[in-house]
Amino acid sequence: MARNILVVEDDQDIGRLVELHLRDLGYSVHLLHDGKEGLMDALTKPYDLVILDVMLPGIDGLELCRQLRSKAIYTPILMLTAKSSEFDRVLGLEVGADDYVTKPFSVRELLARVKAVFRRAEAFAAKDVQITPNNIRLGDLNIDVEKRKVTLSGAVKDLTAKEFDLLLQFAQNPGRVYTRSQLLDLVWGYGHDGYEHTVNSHINRLRSKIEKDSALPAYILTVWGIGYKFRDDGGSEK
């Protein structure tokens, strides 16, 4: 079955070019030119990939991406950004985009990145990982989002509200690397260098509750010199 791709690009010439080349590779493509229409479409139809331009009428691509992630839509998102706008590229990744391509871009690069997104998705699906809007399972760890309940090998783990929010932020984005400042903004709603120890202490407590051996964590991993990430295959890492 052909993969379904939603392309939201306000430049009709670029949108049509992208659509034609994706169709040449056998993908099913739905092309839209308005951010609001793109949001409604992405919320109501099952897509395997969403390609968003940053500058869109109605709702811009960054806000569209943010709203999809806030509604637990985890479809891979590829952003099309202006070459000179590092801010857009960084912000796009921070609000939940999986990758980006800068304009002007070559069709070859775009198609290569689309294929890479699908390869990562296939590798992810082959592992012992399941993510739905209401439940996340990674190996022996299970997170019931609606009930805010966490179990490890069937045993219920008693987490504080912030520990659960922190775990959920990680688990919804396995493999994504977060700085401490980003986690403060996303989980606590503020970002001050002086409070980064808050993240460290919460992660230490969280590890003590969900890791079989907190000295050799299997889920929440330290990325030295940067921050933390959530492992996407449930394995351990020294």
Domain final position from 107, 126, 145: 126
Q: Which one is predicted more confidently, 206 or 131?
A: 206
> In which order are the strands placed within the sheet that holds 177-179?
177-179, 227-230, 220-223
Whether the predicted pLDDT of 206 surpasses 80: yes
Confidence of residue 187 (pLDDT cuts 50, 70, 90): confident
SS3 per-residue string spanning 72-112: CCCCCEEEEEECCCHHHHHHHHHCCCCEEEEECCCHHHHHH
Q: Judging by DSSP bridges, how do beta strands 129-131 and 28-32 pair with one another?
A: unpaired
Strand, coil or helix: 157:
strand
The closest alpha carbon to 124, from 187, 48, 226, belongs to 48
Query: Considering the domain boundaries, does residue 237 fall inside one?
Result: no
Q: Please give the average per-residue pLDDT across 89-108, as a whole number.
A: 79
Question: Could you tell me the residue range of the domain that residue 34 belongs to?
Answer: 4-126
d(Cα 190, Cα 187) in Å, to the nearest integer?
A: 8
Q: Nearest to residue 186, comparing CAs of 201, 205, 167?
A: 167
pTM: 0.59
* Residue 36: CATH number of its domain: 3.40.50.2300
Lowest-pLDDT choice from 9-23, 26-40, 98-112, 150-164:
98-112
Last residue within a domain, chosen from 126, 158, 177: 126
| Residue 192, phi then psi, degrees to nearest 5 | -135, 130
Number of folded domains in the chain?
A: 2
Distance (Å, whole) CA 65 – CA 166: 20
Q: What is the mean pLDDT of residues 176-201?
A: 77
